[in-house]
Structure 1
Amino acid sequence: MGEDKAQSMDDASIEAELIRRIARQERDAFDELYARYSRPLFSYIAKFLRDRGLAEEVLQDAFVKIWRSAPRYDRSLSRPFSWCVLITKRLCIDRMRAMKPVTVTDDPMALQPVDEQRQSEKDPSERVETDDQLSLLEDMVERLPESQRLSLQLAMRQGLTQQEISDQLNMPLGTVKTAMRRGMQRLKTMMAASYE
């Protein structure tokens, strides 16, 4: 029994070191962590989502997120496997929330703030669904390049026109229009990918 615990502690140390190396973008460390964690994480995801195809997609997303998040891993806060499970669980929850499609318009100026009066007249379950959809959309906007993100956030949160956004960001109007159009195209791609 003591040997198992010592082996487990050694594994945790090895895995923490792998994550440190992944943070330095060492591909072989990533491959080794994948070999150690892919089966148990896949099993976890498959139980959570009850869909093998979705589980494979989420597993891939989880390892992409692990690769990108490795520099922020803090061994004093959690064991390596627990940290990876937490990342995976969040992706599973996001995927379940995303089962209901959110539509993204081609017109960036249609992303105006929701009228509070109309929002309060909705059935509470509709409000929760709308809030979840807006939260998903905001998360996706956060992942856009800066000029696209800032211009879309000003349109969505403050209802600014493209000219007002141009003035506020001190960017040429044409650049704002291009940034918003490209941001909308990226959002549509992200939405489509999250519902496949």
Structure 2
Amino acid sequence: MDDASIEAELIRRIAKGERAAFDDLYARYSRPLFSYILKFLGDHGQAEEVLQDAFVKIWRSAPRYDRALSRPFSWCVLITKRICIDKIRARKPVTVSEDPVALRPVEDQKLAERDPSELVEVDDELSILSEMVERLPESQRVTLRLVMRTGLTQQEISDKLNMPLGTVKTAMRRGMQRLKAMMASSHE
């Protein structure tokens, strides 16, 4: 019996509520899934939370696992990836930092502690950035607006715009390069 067969059997037993099967699956998958999550999120604490959430979801979803559709590990990675994406979407909104092209989460407490003149400066930078985005070619402008305003992934933008994923990636990369060049020339 190969690993995939053994793991599919573990999921079948988990679906019946067998704790020992769950413990065995956890022992097999927790390290590779944790590594995947950590690379995805870049935060050790959040990675631990997501790993726990993923195994809870695996436990609850085990009755719906279909071996004909995917291998056990691929199925668990898909569950984990969806939770990672949800975690990223739940993060704070983004704003422009000293490098107008670099985006970072806004901490509400840090925002409240800022000097009012700094807030005006940030608003000015955001206005300048918005004006520059408007000057980009349409595909670059639309894709960057979607990612900045809604936080959609490149795949989701591809689906929403009915545009090939490679085209979306290229448009975003070129748009970011143009914005960087525009910002550099405006600060000279």
Looking at structure 2, the residues matched to 61 and 22 of structure 1 have their Cα atoms a distance apart, in angstroms, of 16
2:27 to 7, 23, 35: 35
Unaligned regions of 5+ residues in structure 1, if any?
1-8, 102-123, 133-196
Q: Give the C-alpha shift of residue 94 in structure 1.
A: 0.4
SS at match of 1:75: coil
**Deviation per residue, 1:116-145 (Å, 9 max, x gap):** xxxxxxxx659953999xxxxxxxxxxxxx
- 2:58 corresponds in structure 1 to 66
- 1:166 corresponds in structure 2 to none
Question: Judging changes above 3 Å, is the alpha-carbon distance between structure 1 residues 83 and 53 closer, same or farther for their aligned structure 2 residues?
Answer: same
Question: Judging changes above 3 Å, is the alpha-carbon distance between structure 1 residues 16 and 125 closer, same or farther for their aligned structure 2 residues?
Answer: closer
**TM-score normalised to structure 2 length:** 0.50
Q: Identify the structure with bigger relative contact order (alpha carbons < 8 Å, sequence gap 6+).
A: 1
Looking at structure 2, the residues matched to 130 and 10 of structure 1 have their Cα atoms a distance apart, in angstroms, of 40
Question: Judging changes above 3 Å, is the alpha-carbon distance between structure 1 residues 130 and 43 closer, same or farther for their aligned structure 2 residues?
Answer: closer
**Deviation per residue, 1:82-112 (Å, 9 max, x gap):** 00000000000000000027xxxxxxxxxxx
Looking at structure 2, the residues matched to 10 and 131 of structure 1 have their Cα atoms a distance apart, in angstroms, of 38
Looking at structure 2, the residues matched to 28 and 126 of structure 1 have their Cα atoms a distance apart, in angstroms, of 43
- 1:16 corresponds in structure 2 to 8
Counterpart of 1:82 in structure 2: which amino acid?
S
Counterpart of 2:81 in structure 1: which amino acid?
K
Indicate whether 1:99 and 2:91 are aligned. yes
SS at match of 1:78: coil
Question: Judging changes above 3 Å, is the alpha-carbon distance between structure 1 residues 126 and 47 closer, same or farther for their aligned structure 2 residues?
Answer: closer
Over aligned residue pairs, what C-alpha RMSD do you find? 2.2
1:87 to 79, 83, 105: 79
2:43 to 42, 48, 51: 51
**TM-score normalised to structure 1 length:** 0.48
Indicate whether 1:129 and 2:150 are aligned. yes
Question: Judging changes above 3 Å, is the alpha-carbon distance between structure 1 residues 30 and 125 closer, same or farther for their aligned structure 2 residues?
Answer: same
Flag as ranges the 4+ runs of structure 1 deviating above 2 A: 124-132
Report matched runs for 1:102-181 at 5 Å.
128-129=149-150
Question: Judging changes above 3 Å, is the alpha-carbon distance between structure 1 residues 53 and 75 closer, same or farther for their aligned structure 2 residues?
Answer: same
Counterpart of 1:129 in structure 2: which amino acid?
T
Unaligned regions of 5+ residues in structure 2, if any?
94-144, 154-188
SS at match of 1:30: helix
Counterpart of 2:59 in structure 1: which amino acid?
W
Q: How many residues align?
A: 102
Counterpart of 1:19 in structure 2: which amino acid?
I
2:69 to 36, 53, 77: 77
**Deviation per residue, 1:11-57 (Å, 9 max, x gap):** 11000000000000111100000000000000000000001110000
Counterpart of 1:24 in structure 2: which amino acid?
K
Looking at structure 1, the residues matched to 33 and 13 of structure 2 have their Cα atoms a distance apart, in angstroms, of 20
